[in-house]
């Protein structure tokens, strides 16, 4: 038996107190012992460096940005704060090779780059601003929802507002140079992207369209090319739905996406060297508004946070079929958004 520790980023609009931690038993698939480890304000998203430093979203008064936390201490010790006037980022990521941190600001339509200092604190090195809009009411301006390193160490940025995926070269000093833009279907509303294990294909999740697209990735020039698209929800579902998270199994054979509205996880099987996808299962998340979800280190379980019902569900994953089976549904984490296994 191995007990892992899981961090949960949350909204603190109702009852949540900040970032939570829980124990996860990989034999039984059960979560236990939830406790607050950092009393933040809407620390919805967080990333963890190999040095065990947490870079989390934070808002204080009229300012928002990233708080740097020592994850080796309980409660977490605050090491630094990088805040500016305005709304908080929606995404953070650590670039271990260059020792950088990226923040994607949804409402600002920007990506900010920070250099990690010797004491783990951050100094901003660049800001990139996107412009544009899409056809849907939610697309009145640029909305960066994802900024992370791709398989060739370029930065890949997903903009929900402009229906774009933008690829950047990144200098060792943390400066961005745009190299390519992929334009999704108008109104697709791209939110997150993940790559196949060989880095040849990417899976782009459309929040506004409830669609999952397969894209061929070209490492030569950082461009994406559309291969195929499938729906994450049944064809007869007419109520609102917005997709949230996407996860790919370590062997690349299965993809998992969460549906907020339909309140489910969709399971896709990949074939033809990861270039094709087929929807094989849709399972209820046993809660409302599932946000982030994550596979455990063994790839045998999927943990899903339901924001509106304050509960986390755990599913056992069949390694052969990829299908999910519920094992726990009433583990309480208030307003859960982010699910992140600790190192």
User: For 233, which DSSP code?
Assistant: S
Task: Give me the long-range contacts of 283-286 (CB less than 8 A, separation at least 24).
Answer: 283/315, 283/324, 283/326, 285/258, 285/313, 286/311, 286/313, 286/326, 286/329
On the 0-12 / 13-18 / 19+ scale of CB atoms within 10 A, 70 is: middle
The radius of gyration of the chain from alpha carbons, rounded to an integer in Å, stands at 19
* pLDDT confidence of residue 343: 87
Q: What is the pLDDT of residues 146-184, one digit of tens each?
A: 999 999 999 999 999 999 999 999 999 999 999 999 999
**Which pLDDT score is estimated for 1?**
80
Q: Which residues of the chain have pLDDT under 70?
A: none
Each as own residue / partner, the long-range contacts of residues 239-244 (CB below 8 Å, 24 or more positions apart, any chain) are 241/210, 242/207, 242/208, 242/210, 243/191, 243/205, 243/206, 243/207, 243/210, 243/212, 244/191, 244/192, 244/207, 244/290, 244/291, 244/292
Query: Please, are residues 55 and 71 in contact by the beta-carbon 8 Å criterion?
Result: no
Phi-psi region of 335 (alpha: psi -120 to 50; beta: other; left: phi over 0): left
Taking CA 26 as the corner, what is the angle to CA 297 and CA 343, rounded to the nearest 5 degrees? 35
Confidence (pLDDT) at 314: 98
What is the model's pLDDT at position 241? 95
CA 198/CA 240 separation, integer angstroms: 35
Using CA atoms, how far residue 21 sits from 7, 25, 86, 164, in Å, is: 5, 13, 28, 34
Distance CA 89, CA 107 (A): 8
Q: How far apart are CA 78 and CA 11, in angstroms?
A: 19
pLDDT digits (tens, 9 = 90+) for 285-341: 999 999 999 999 999 999 999 999 999 999 999 999 999 999 999 999 999 999 999
Q: Which of 119, 10, 7, 3 is nearest to 74 (CA)?
A: 7
Closest CA to 168 of 153, 183, 184, 185: 153
Q: Which two tokens stand for residue 300?
A: 């045998």
């Amino acid at each position: 038996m191995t007990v892992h520790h899981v961090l949960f980023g949350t909204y603190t609009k109702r009852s949540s107190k900040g970032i939570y931690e829980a124990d996860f038993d990989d034999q039984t698939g059960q979560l236990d012992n939830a406790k607050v480890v950092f009393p933040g304000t809407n620390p919805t998203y967080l990333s963890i460096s190999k040095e065990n430093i947490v870079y989390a979203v934070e808002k204080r008064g009229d300012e928002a940005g990233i708080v740097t936390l020592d994850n080796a201490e309980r409660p977490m010790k605050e090491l630094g704060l990088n805040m500016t006037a305005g709304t908080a980022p929606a995404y953070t990521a650590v670039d271990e090779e260059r020792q950088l941190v990226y923040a994607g600001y949804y409402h600002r339509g920007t990506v900010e780059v920070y250099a990690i200092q010797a004491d783990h604190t951050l100094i901003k090195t660049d800001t990139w601003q996107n412009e544009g809009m899409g056809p849907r009411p939610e697309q009145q301006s640029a909305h960066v929802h994802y900024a992370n390193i791709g398989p060739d160490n370029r930065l890949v940025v997903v903009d929900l507002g402009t229906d774009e995926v933008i690829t950047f070269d990144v200098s060792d000093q943390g400066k961005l140079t745009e190299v390519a833009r992929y334009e999704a279907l108008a109104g697709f509303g791209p939110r997150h992207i993940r790559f196949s294990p060989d880095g040849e294909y990417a899976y782009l999740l459309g929040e506004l369209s409830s669609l999952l697209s397969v894209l061929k990735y070209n490492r030569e020039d950082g461009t994406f090319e559309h291969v195929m698209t499938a729906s994450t929800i049944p064809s007869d579902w007419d109520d609102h739905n917005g997709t949230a998270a996407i996860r790919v199994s370590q062997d690349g054979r299965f993809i998992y996406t969460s549906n907020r509205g339909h309140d489910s996880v969709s399971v896709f099987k990949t074939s033809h060297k990861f270039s094709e996808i087929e929807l094989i299962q849709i399972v209820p998340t046993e809660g409302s508004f599932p946000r982030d979800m994550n596979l455990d280190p063994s790839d045998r379980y999927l943990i899903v946070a339901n924001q509106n019902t304050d509960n986390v569900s755990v599913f056992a994953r069949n390694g052969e079929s990829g299908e999910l089976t519920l094992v726990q549904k009433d583990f309480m984490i208030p307003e859960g958004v982010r699910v992140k296994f600790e190192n």
